[in-house]
Structure 1
């Protein structure tokens, strides 16, 4: 399971960065896959080190919780959806 999680994390990060196009593309996938990272970035108006670290560990944390506490899967999904809604609600000139 570790290998799959690492591969998924790397692929999602790669896709998100490519679609963001160095700031000239779209941040839509970033807000969907990494909502809490984008919330931090939107509040700071920059994608800084804390946001990057969170982006790297966000998916593995979800997987860890999903495996260790299978009954919490709906909480994880709910938290992610709430994060997406907040990320799309916050208006930023940069993102």
Structure 2
């Protein structure tokens, strides 16, 4: 069974990677819950533990007006269930 991701752990991982925190704990708690519900905790942990680098034209570190983007590997049925039709 995967270890659940908490807001505290998520905040610590973001701080360790980028040297800053970019959000409030109550919002991170919701993000951590969603990541767990989608079964992507291992992917998020691996991404945040990897060195920061530019990817697909995005800067290596979040700046004002951008967010941390992590591409999930979800089955089409999961995408449709959570986000509706048309996001595939």
With normalisation by structure 2, the TM-score equals: 0.30
Q: Which has the larger helix fraction?
A: 1
| Greater relative contact order, per chain length (Cα 8 Å cut-off, separation 6+) | 1
